[in-house]
Amino acid sequence: MLDGVERLVDLAGVRTIGSDDVRQRRIADAVQTADVAALAAIDGHFAATAREDKTVRLARTIGFPLRYFVAKMYHGPMLVAAERMDQIFDWCQEQRIGWQFDPAYTRMVPAHYLVEVDQVGCPDPAPRYQRFFTPSVASGTSDIDDAGARYIEAAYEALTIWLATVPPGEAIAVAFSGGVDSTSILVLARHALASLGRNPDDVRAFTLDLGGGADAAQALETMRALGLERSWERVTAPADEIDLENAIRVIEDYHPLDVECAATALCLLRGIRGRYPSLRYLLDGDGGDENLKSYPLDDSDLTLSSVLRNPLLYQEGWGVDAIKHSLVYSGGLSRGYVRTYAPAAAYGFSACSPFTVRSVIAAAVAMPFDVVLDGREERLATLKPDVVRAGVKAVTGVDMPIHAKRRFQDGALAAPRARVSKAWCRNVFTAQWEERLREANDNLEPRRSGNEISTAI
């Protein structure tokens, strides 16, 4: 291996909320020096990659995706980091080593970890993981009013920090179903803008209607109850605009519920972008279900015991050392948040969900769920509305309306569409990449060997 040769191609750069150069430098320095304590102390979302000698380090939170791929070049391994698989593939094509690429060879940095990869040649080294997020579990109160206040106070603070990065007077869209999470985000955002001395009406709610969907009626009812009907817009589109194959291409994943959610989000965001070409800022309530474990267990392989014994299961999956952990996709919302991030990025939005911020997750896992649930699975259906409603009331004084839970992709339609299978989604994903790789190789100039010796050192 040649010494003194840069072995890191960073196509993503340091990403964080806002554009504070000092903050970005702190993040970059902490990643480069493996300062886990410093990463833990940096609030909000970030993603960064850095190199120290032959070791490349990467770190991210839920809000920013980060992938990497180890290419074989003339001077040894070259680690390529990017937001997306296709960005890495395009770089490989430019280097005439597209033949090395396979999406299964890419790796997602798991949220809340610092990952270290040594660039030492074959055999490829195993990545090493260090956590920088270790919230205290079940250390808080079981009183719903108190727990709700602490949870929503944390969300409100995270939201206020994000809103401070939005230029005054800029419009802010809320992906709005009228459900618990999106309603709480809307109410908190308006309250936060008022506290900042800004106009709460800069926040507008948008609801997708694909033809008589329940969400549109629910959203209108909610906005009327809040006296905010003039700050709401219905975005209509024909149901056949739901394009699952395009959603798979956008999110580069094949988990069925995430595919369906992303396809629906793309319809909504396309409609908003058509009306407001310059609108940049987007809020949503993604992560609220995960934080308060608001998922039915009867449609999964989970038990109440498995959920309670893995406090961050819904945020991070089973953990980096588990058999079920996917190196290509990570796990939990660490994997799934691409359903929100990628559609927003595709239409030029800067998106944020306060419920994905570590301080908010910490406030949620501090709740002693085993005590609150008392072994009752059915309590999972009512816990989140009780907690969030109590918290919003404590923080804003608003008594927000509560509606039955439904998935985003179901609420936009008059009747829920048939669920697509994971096998179908995965076959589409595989076929899309097979086509790209075949076309790329058919049109490739003489390919570059990993053993090629270059004089350009």
CA atoms in the 13 A half-sphere facing the CB of 98: 21
Q: How many CB atoms lie within 10 A of CB 25?
A: 11
State the Cα–Cα distance between residues 313 and 332, nearest whole angstrom. Answer: 6
Residue 325, both tokens: 């952990």
Residue 351 main-chain phi, psi, to 5 deg: -105, 155
pLDDT at 180: 96
pLDDT at 268: 96
| Pair 75, 3: CB distance under 8 Å | no
Contacts within 8 Å (CB) and 24+ apart, 114-117: 114/31, 114/34, 114/36, 114/39, 114/57, 114/58, 114/59, 115/57, 115/58, 115/59, 116/34, 116/55, 116/56, 116/57, 117/55, 117/56, 117/57, 117/58, 117/68, 117/70, 117/79
pLDDT at 7: 79
Residue 92 CB burial class (10 angstroms; 0-12, 13-18, ≥19): buried
Residue type, 255: H
Q: What is the DSSP string of 34-94?
A: T-HHHHHHS-S-EEEEEEETTEEEEEE-TTS--EEEEEEETTEEEEEEESSHHHHHHHHHH
Q: How many CB atoms lie within 10 A of CB 15?
A: 18
> What is the band of 407 on the pLDDT scale with cuts at 50, 70, 90?
low
Work out the average pLDDT over 169-197. Answer: 97
Select the more confidently predicted residue: 46 or 442.
46
> What is the band of 211 on the pLDDT scale with cuts at 50, 70, 90?
confident
Least confident of 26-35, 296-305, 357-366: 296-305
List domains and CATH numbers for the chain.
8-133 (no CATH), 144-428 (3.40.50.620)
State CA 333 to chain mean position distance. Answer: 6
Q: Does 311 sit behind a cis peptide bond, omega within 30 degrees of 0 on the bond before it?
A: no
> What is the band of 455 on the pLDDT scale with cuts at 50, 70, 90?
very low
Select the more confidently predicted residue: 314 or 123.
314
pTM for the complete prediction? 0.93
Select the more confidently predicted residue: 15 or 453.
15
Q: What is the DSSP string of 304-329?
A: HHHHHHSTTHHHHTT-TTSTT-BTTT
Residue type, 239: A
pLDDT at 364: 98
State the Cα–Cα distance between residues 400 and 165, nearest whole angstrom. Answer: 27
| Pair 358, 61: CB distance under 8 Å | yes
pLDDT at 298: 81
Q: How many CB atoms lie within 10 A of CB 91?
A: 19
Residue 337 CB burial class (10 angstroms; 0-12, 13-18, ≥19): buried
pLDDT at 3: 53
State the Cα–Cα distance between residues 108 and 101, nearest whole angstrom. Answer: 15
Residue type, 283: L
Residue 406, both tokens: 């439904």
State the Cα–Cα distance between residues 342 and 250, nearest whole angstrom. Answer: 6
Q: How many CB atoms lie within 10 A of CB 441?
A: 12
State the Cα–Cα distance between residues 96 and 450, nearest whole angstrom. Answer: 10
Helix axes 214-226, 180-195, angle to 10 degrees: 40
State the Cα–Cα distance between residues 175 and 208, nearest whole angstrom. Answer: 8
Q: pLDDT tens, 321-343?
A: 999 999 999 999 999 999 999 99
- Cα Rg of the chain (Å, integer): 22
State the Cα–Cα distance between residues 405 and 296, nearest whole angstrom. Answer: 11
Select the more confidently predicted residue: 215 or 117.
117
pLDDT at 456: 44
Query: Which one of 213-217, 305-309, 363-367, 376-380 scores highest in mean pLDDT?
Result: 363-367
Q: pLDDT tens, 224-243?
A: 999 999 999 999 999 889 99
Select the more confidently predicted residue: 453 or 118.
118
| Pair 47, 65: CB distance under 8 Å | yes
DSSP 8-class letter at 455: S
State the Cα–Cα distance between residues 70 and 157, nearest whole angstrom. Answer: 39
Q: What is the DSSP string of 267-310?
A: HHHHHHHHH-TT--EEE--TTHHHHTT---GGGSS--HHHHHHS
Residue 320 has pLDDT above 80, yes or no: yes
Where are the alpha helices (H) located in 229-255, listed in sequence order? 244-251
